[in-house]
Amino acid sequence: MECEPERVYRCYRFEGLQIDMRVRRRKYMSLHRGPVPQARRTHERWSMDFVHDQLFGGRAFRVFTIVDQFSRQTPLLQPRFSFGGRDVVAALDRAIARTGTPVSITIDHGTGFTSKVLEEWTYRRSVKLDFIHPGKPTENGHIESFNGRLRDECLNVMQFE
C-alpha cells in the first residue's frame, strides 16, 4: 500500500513525532584516485596531516605537518590552536614559496582537508589531492611515520606553556 508523503507527515505531527526532511549528503570533493604513484624526485609528492597535543595548562593545540615523500624532508611544521581551510591554504602557500609546487598531496578526510577553500586552491595551482581510504592510515605511511617520531621525540618529551 502506497502512502502520500503529506498524509504521513500529518500523522507524524498529530502524534507529536518529528520527521527529518533534510537530505544529508557527504561532502567529498575529490575521491580516492587509486594507488598513489611513487615519487621520483624531490617536492613531487607531499603528504600532510595534523598532530594533536595539549599545553601544560590543558589547552589543546594542533601541529600541521607536511612531508616530502621522496626526500623525507619537512617543508613545514606549523603549530596553532585551530586550523581551518584558509589556515591550511596559507601554510601551503608559505611552504610552496620556499620549495616549489608539488604535483600531488596525499591526505586523509580530515576537516581541514575537505574544505572548499582547499579544493579551489588545488584547482588554481594544478595540484592533485590524493585522498586515502577512510580508516586506512597505512596508505599515508610517510606522514604517519613522521608524526609518530614527532610525538616520541618532541611532544612526549617536552611540556609547552
DSSP secondary structure of 11-30: HHHHHT------------SS
* pLDDT per position as a tens digit, 30-73: 554 566 677 788 888 999 999 988 888 889 999 999 999 899 89
Provide mean pLDDT across the span 128-132: 87
Pairwise CA distance, residues 62 & 52, whole Å: 5
Dist CA 49 CA 65 (whole Å): 6
Q: What is the pLDDT of residue 25?
A: 58
Q: For 89-117, what is the mean pLDDT?
A: 89
Looking at residue 93, what is its pLDDT? 95
Query: Distance between CA 132 and CA 46 in Å, rounded?
Result: 13
pTM higher than 0.85 for the full model? Answer: no
